[in-house]
C-alpha cells in the first residue's frame, strides 16, 4: 500500500469514528505512522485529505450499491451497515461539521449527493420503468437517507423497516 493510500485509510477510520473537526493532524500522523511533513507532501491540507477520504468512501459505497432493484439497494445498505458500522452518512456529517464552509468538502459532498440521487433514479427505472419518475426516486432517496441516519440508534432494523416501506411504494407503481 502506498503512502497516500495509507493516509486515506487511516484518515477515513479516524474521521468516521471521531469526526473531521475532532481529528487533528497530530492524531492522524500518529495513526498513519507518518510525519506531518509527509502528510502535507502527499495530500496537501486537511481539507484536501478530507475530500480524498470522501472520494474513496464514495467509490467503495457506490460499488456496494451496484444493484438493479430497490430491494437490493436496501439489502446492500443493510450489509454495508453490518460491515462498516452505523454512524450515519459520513458525507452529511462532514458537511454538517464544516458548515458547508470548506469548499473541498462542500463540493465533494454536493457532487456525491447528486451522483447518488442519479444512481437511485437509475435503480428505480430498472426496477419499475419510467412509472416511478422523480417522485418515487425522491421517496426512495429519503427512505434510504433516513434509514442510514436511524441506523445510528436503531441498527440494521431501521434499514429493514425502510426496505419494507420501499417495497410498498414499488408495489404501488409496478406495472
- Which pLDDT score, from 0 to 100, does residue 58 have? 96
Instruction: Return the residue matching grid coordinates 463540493.
Output: 107
Beta strands in 26-100 (DSSP E): none
Would you place residue 131 in the very low, low, confident or very high pLDDT band (cuts 50, 70, 90)?
confident
Distance CA 17, CA 89 (A): 12
Q: Which domains does the chain have, with CATH numbers?
A: 53-173 (1.10.357.10)
Residue 76 vs residues 9, 85, 157: alpha-carbon distances, Å: 22, 13, 14
- What is d(CA 75, CA 78) in angstroms, rounded to the nearest whole number? 5
Residue with cell 451522483: 115
Binned at pLDDT 50, 70 and 90, residue 36 comes out as: confident
DSSP state of 99: T
pLDDT of 132 reads 79
71-75 long-range contacts, CB within 8 A, separation 24+: 71/127, 71/163, 71/166, 71/167, 71/170, 72/123, 73/120, 73/123, 73/140, 73/144, 73/166, 74/143, 74/144, 74/147, 74/159, 74/162, 74/163, 74/166, 75/163
**pLDDT > 90 in the chain, percent:** 79
Do 116 and 60 form a contact (C-beta atoms < 8 A)?
A: no
Confidence class for position 39, pLDDT limits 50, 70, 90? confident
Per-residue model confidence (pLDDT) at position 116 = 97
- Kind plus residue range of the DSSP H or E element containing 33: none
Res 7 pLDDT > 80: yes
Q: How confident is the model at residue 137 (pLDDT cuts 50, 70, 90)?
A: very high
Confidence category of residue 13, pLDDT binned at 50, 70, 90: very high
CB 94 within 8 A of CB 20: yes
Q: Do 166 and 143 form a contact (C-beta atoms < 8 A)?
A: yes
pLDDT in tens, 75-120: 999 999 999 988 999 999 999 999 999 999 999 999 999 999 999 9
pLDDT, position 94: 95
Mean pLDDT, the chain, whole residue set: 94
Amino acid at each position: 500500500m502506498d503512502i497516500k493510500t495509507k493516509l486515506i485509510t487511516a484518515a477515513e477510520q479516524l474521521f468516521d469514528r471521531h469526526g473531521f473537526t475532532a481529528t487533528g493532524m497530530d492524531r492522524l500522523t500518529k495513526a498513519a505512522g507518518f510525519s506531518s511533513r509527509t502528510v502535507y507532501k502527499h495530500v496537501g491540507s486537511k481539507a484536501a485529505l478530507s475530500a480524498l477520504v470522501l472520494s474513496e468512501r464514495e467509490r467503495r459505497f457506490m460499488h456496494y450499491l451496484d444493484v438493479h432493484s430497490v430491494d437490493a439497494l436496501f439489502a446492500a445498505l443493510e450489509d454495508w451497515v453490518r460491515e462498516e458500522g452505523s454512524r450515519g452518512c459520513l458525507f452529511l456529517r462532514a458537511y454538517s461539521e464544516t458548515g458547508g464552509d470548506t469548499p473541498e468538502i462542500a463540493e465533494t459532498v454536493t457532487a456525491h449527493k447528486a451522483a447518488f440521487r442519479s444512481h437511485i433514479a437509475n435503480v428505480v427505472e430498472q426496477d419499475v420503468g419510467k412509472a416511478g419518475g422523480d417522485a418515487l426516486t425522491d421517496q426512495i432517496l429519503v427512505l434510504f437517507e433516513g434509514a442510514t441516519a436511524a441506523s445510528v440508534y436503531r441498527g440494521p432494523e431501521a434499514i429493514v423497516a425502510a426496505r419494507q416501506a420501499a417495497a410498498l411504494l414499488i408495489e404501488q407503481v409496478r406495472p
